[in-house]
Amino acid sequence: MAAAGLPKSDIIVQNGLDSDSTFLTDAESDITNGATVLLIDPEDSGTGVQVENYAKTHGVQVIDYDRLDLGGPADDYVSFNNVEVGRLIGQGFQSCVTAWHVSHPNVIVMRGDPTDNNATLFAQGYDSVLAPDFASGKYTKVATPAGTWTPTVALTEFEQAYTAHSNANSAVIPNDENGAPIITYLKSHGIKANVFPTTGQDATLTGLQNILSGYQCGTVYKPIYKEAQAAVALAMYLRAGKNPPSSLLNGTTTDPTNKDQVPSVLLQPEWVTPSNMVDTIVKDNFVPTKQLCAGSYGAECKKYGISTT
């Protein structure tokens, strides 16, 4: 926002600190203090919808950031193309199954939180990619846990599925954070590298290290600086009372609750494996290479041409 020319006096940045009531009170206070555009990312859709309804009655425009608040009257939405995120997870899983020579994948297909529309879109993407493999019998879907974004709960869901289906030899996991404790669990059960395909997204440090060491097939990289830049650009247009260009507002997203077509900025994600880390997360300094290549990961970094200097 500062780089876009806004003075500090025109910017209010607040964090509800996991409190829905604080989030709502902050938004109401901002509008009272003269805010004309709200850029929001609440913990849950219900709180977001409350903010949007309040803003609408006060003539204030709202941008949903990163996830859509279902059923609300948001003016616009900024995120990555989340169906494409899911497709990349599915396609990455397929490539990994082939590369790691898994003759018949018995797959635990996991989900994010079922109340999060992003999780729904991710699953839509990877389900569409993998459906033909399940239908043909090439792959077998052995379990579909309920879904969560809490890593400890994801681990419990996986443990239950893995215990119930001892033939499971792969897992579609929707993000790196859920995958991390699951991979630790697999290691504790003697699973070796490049044997049990798993997936993820967000390009976290742990996720990238799990990829380098052969326990995760890849991760969907979403350069969040681009998301922030797009959100600020959109907010500047709305603040000035001008229509954003189609090069920025480049799509729509269906709100499954009220069926509205929400004008959207949809950015393109990328599947990252050891072969393209240098040209993606390293090039962008998304994760410092000294952290990525610390300790035992130094040899893997050297193997894939990742320098710490």
- Write the burial class of residue 103 (CB in 10 Å: 0-12 exposed, 13-18 middle, 19+ buried): exposed
Instruction: Report the pLDDT value the prediction gives residue 277, as an integer from 0 to 100.
Output: 97
Instruction: Report the pLDDT value the prediction gives residue 211, as an integer from 0 to 100.
Output: 98
Contacts of 123 (CB under 8 A, 6+ apart): 86, 111, 112, 174
How far is Cα 132 from Cα 206, in angstroms, rounded to an integer? 31
Three-class secondary structure of residue 194 per DSSP: coil
Give percent of the chain above pLDDT 90.
98
Give the distance from CA 290 to its chain's centroid: 24
How far is Cα 176 from Cα 168, in angstroms, rounded to an integer? 20
Instruction: Report the pLDDT value the prediction gives residue 228, as an integer from 0 to 100.
Output: 96
Q: Is the dihedral of CA 223, 258, 40, 23 positive or negative?
A: negative
For tokens 């052969």, name the residue: 214
pLDDT in tens, 106-158: 999 999 999 899 999 999 999 999 999 999 999 999 999 999 999 999 999 99
pLDDT in tens, 51-68: 999 999 999 999 999 999
Pair 294, 308: CB distance under 8 Å: no
Check whether 181 has a pLDDT greater than 90.
Answer: yes
Cα dist from 212 to 39, 129, 241, 271, whole Å: 36, 25, 48, 14
**Strand order across the 140-143 sheet:** 140-143, 106-109, 170-172
pLDDT in tens, 204-254: 999 999 999 999 999 999 999 999 999 999 999 999 999 999 999 999 999
pLDDT in tens, 240-294: 999 999 999 999 999 999 999 999 999 999 999 999 999 999 999 999 999 999 9
- Regarding beta strands 219-221 and 270-272, do their DSSP bridges make them parallel or antiparallel, or are they unpaired? antiparallel
Q: Where are the alpha helices (DSSP H) in the chain?
A: 20-32, 45-57, 82-99, 117-136, 151-164, 176-188, 205-212, 224-239, 289-292, 297-303
Instruction: Report the pLDDT value the prediction gives residue 308, as an integer from 0 to 100.
Output: 87
